[in-house]
Amino acid sequence: MLKEVAEKLKNSNTPVMQKIHTNNGTKLIAFGLKKGVALAEHTAPSKAKIIMVQGEVDFNMKQESYRLATLDTYDIPLKEKHAVVGVEDAIFLLLLSE
C-alpha cells in the first residue's frame, strides 16, 4: 500500500490518501504530500497519531508549529485545528482510534 502512495505521489500536486486498515474503531490511513502541498486546515475526528515514514512536513496549529521528519511521531491534539504542509516529498501514516 505504501508503494502505491509513493507511485501516486510522483504525479500528484494534491494530497494522496490510501486507507490501509480498519478494525474495531481503529483506522490506519497513508498520506503522501509533495513539497509545498498542504492538507487544508481541519480537526482530527478522534484520537490521532501521525507517524512519519519518509520526508518532512510542517504540522501547523494556531499557536504552534512542529517540523516532523522520517520516523517522528506526534499525538494530534483533539479539537485543535491544524494543517500539514510538505517541506519535502513526504509519506506518513495517520492512526485514528476511538
The mean predicted confidence, pLDDT, of the chain is: 94
Model confidence over 41-57: pLDDT tens digits? 999 888 999 999 999 99
Q: Pick 37 or 1 by higher pLDDT.
A: 37
Model confidence over 13-46: pLDDT tens digits? 999 999 999 999 899 999 999 999 999 999 988 8
pTM surpassing 0.75? yes
Q: Which residues on adjacent β-strands are paired with residue 37?
A: none
Beta strands in 5-69 (DSSP E): 16-23, 26-33, 38-42, 47-61, 65-69
DSSP state of 75: E
Inform me whether the pLDDT recorded for 59 exceeds 90: yes
